[in-house]
Structure formats: C-alpha cells, structure tokens
Amino acid sequence: MLLASPAVCSTFVDGRAHQLAPLGGDTLHLPYATSLRMGRLGYQSDAQASLKVSYNGLDSYAASLEKALTQSYPPYEAIGVRDGDEYRQLGTTLLQIENEFYGTIRPKRVIRSGERPLHALRERGVEYVEVRLMDLDPFEAVGINADTMRFLDVFLLHCLMRSSPPDTPAELEAIIANKQRVASRGREPGLRLVRDGGEATLAEWGREVLDECAPYAQALDAANATTRHAAALAIAQQRLAEPDTTPSARVLQAITRDHGSSYVRFVLAQSRAHREAVLALPFGADTLSRFERLAARSLEEQRALEIGDTLSFEDWRQAYLAPVRLR
C-alpha cells in the first residue's frame, strides 16, 4: 500500500514523482499501490541494486551469489567490521551471508550443522524454493488462506513446466522495473509493463499468464479429486479483472469505511480480531505436551552446544566466511 505519515507529500517511484493521496486521519498513500513489502520502502536494499543474479541454472545462480559474498563493497569497508570490541557487521562484502539476498524467489536446501547454504546447494542441489514476495493478508488470521496457497501451487507448476530461455542483463533490469511499477501502481488503469523490449499492459499480460495456468489447475484437481485449484485460479482472474477486489484495495476500503480513515486503527482492530481468532482455535493437551517436550529438548541442546564451544567468535567468523566454504 505504501502507506506513509502525513509529513510525506510525494515519493519518487518509477522515474517520476507521485503525489501521495490523503486518506484522512493519519494516512497518506499511493492511490494505486499494491504492496509495501515489494516497494521502495519495503524489503529492499539499494546496495543490492547492482546485483544481477542469473537464474539460468544452478551454476550461474551460485556464481552470482559467490561474487557478492566474496567481493568487498566500499561503503561497508568504510563502516569496518569492528569498533574496538564491538562488532558492527560480519564482513565487508556486498552480501555478508546468503540470506541477505533480497530475491523474490530463492532456491534452497536444508543445511547441515555449520554448513554454508551456497555449499549445500552446490553439493546436493535444490530441495525447495522459497517464495519471498508475498505480503501477509491483513484479512486472514494466519496471514494467508488456502485459496492463495492453491493458486501459488498452480502458478509455480506453470513456471516449472513453461519454456524458459536464458535470461539476459536487459531482462533482469526489466523485471526489477516491472516489480516496482506493480508495487507502486499495480491497480492503475492501463498500467504498462516492459515486455520483450516493448510494452504490454499488466491486464493483458496477466490474463495471458492466468490462461496458461488453467491446464495445471485442472491437472492438480484431477490428481486430488477436487475442484479447488480451478476455483483458486478463478479468484485470481477475478481480482485481475476487478482491481477493487484485491487485498490492497480492500484495505483502503476498510480504513475509510470502518476506521475513520486511520491506518493505525485498522491495523489495531485487525490485530485484535486475529488474536481472538487464533486463541479460539482448539489446542489439545497432547499438542501442549509435545511443544513442552520440544522446548525442553531445545534448551538441553543449547546448553550442550555452549559447554562444548571453545572457539572465539572472531575465529568462528573468519572460518565461517572463508570463500572456500562456499564451494
């Protein structure tokens, strides 16, 4: 939503200044924005703007990350690792650890104790993919509903099966630009995105992608004796055709209708409602006992690790960040 305080009257997005619309109360917003997380104020890093990670294959992906994990970054060099006995950061590279890479999707592998994630990927391949561009749904007590998860299954299967020519630096630049446009202007009528050196409207391109997803929804339904994947796809198609039904539009509607145009009041009301909904869920004695056992075991394992730890933090830091551990 790119919601902001009243002190902000405009923001620079997509190469131009956009006026923030007053919603009343304590809230200003970009009128057609869809996401704070994926926008310039969200889970982004200006330092990583120069980082072009290729998804052409595991080798190219790993090489891109290794470069960012091993080449020093001057602004971080200026900060330094330590100030006397106090650590300021782990290192001076653009990415200090793999999980600092703010990609919208990341291939992952469960790591072994002390292992670097990039080494695990190279050694044993991709085990799962981490989808990182989802906002929490403020209308759902657990942040996401079953229809959204089913649609993600359909969409990711489409991505897996669709032909994917090697990416290029120009395409990677276009993807970044398109993500920013959709985050800040996604519900804007006629919004155009960069596509294959030209442009296409978000609505046209979106309809094409969702139409291509239909066979995969049907296949998943057939395999599971259900119609729920097709229904989830239909919801996505409706939201594309009717932007006022998207979660971002519904937030604005609820703020204006029910909360005196105050974003803070909306968030507080939703938080309280979700707390009550979660507390009302069944929580049996067996479940409680299981979590108590897990907690006790975790504390025991922590004590054992601490008793057996003889390495200084600095020795551990240098050993963990050694480039050889990435390969």
* pLDDT single digits (tens) 40-65: 888 777 778 778 888 899 999 999 99
Cα-trace Rg, the chain: 23
Q: Which two tokens stand for residue 274?
A: 């979700």
Cα distances (Å, whole numbers) of residue 212 to 151, 162, 209, 216: 13, 9, 5, 8
Instruction: Please report which confidence band the pLDDT of residue 114 belongs to, taking 50, 70 and 90 as the band edges.
Output: confident
Instruction: Please report which confidence band the pLDDT of residue 103 belongs to, taking 50, 70 and 90 as the band edges.
Output: confident
Give the C-alpha separation, 168 to 161, whole Å: 20
Give percent above pLDDT 70 in the chain. 92
* pLDDT single digits (tens) 8-31: 334 444 555 455 555 555 557 889
Q: What is the pLDDT of residue 12?
A: 43
Instruction: Please report which confidence band the pLDDT of residue 162 belongs to, taking 50, 70 and 90 as the band edges.
Output: very high
Is 319 a residue whose pLDDT tops 90? Answer: yes
More confident residue, 164 or 121: 121
* Residues 6 or more apart in contact with residue 209 via CB below 8 angstroms: 158
Q: What is the pLDDT of residue 53?
A: 86
Instruction: Indicate the average pLDDT of the chain.
Output: 89
Give the C-alpha separation, 318 to 327, whole Å: 16
Is 4 a residue whose pLDDT tops 70? Answer: no
Is 214 a residue whose pLDDT tops 90? Answer: yes
Is 245 a residue whose pLDDT tops 70? Answer: yes
pTM of the model: 0.84
Instruction: Please report which confidence band the pLDDT of residue 119 belongs to, taking 50, 70 and 90 as the band edges.
Output: very high
Q: What is the pLDDT of residue 113?
A: 87
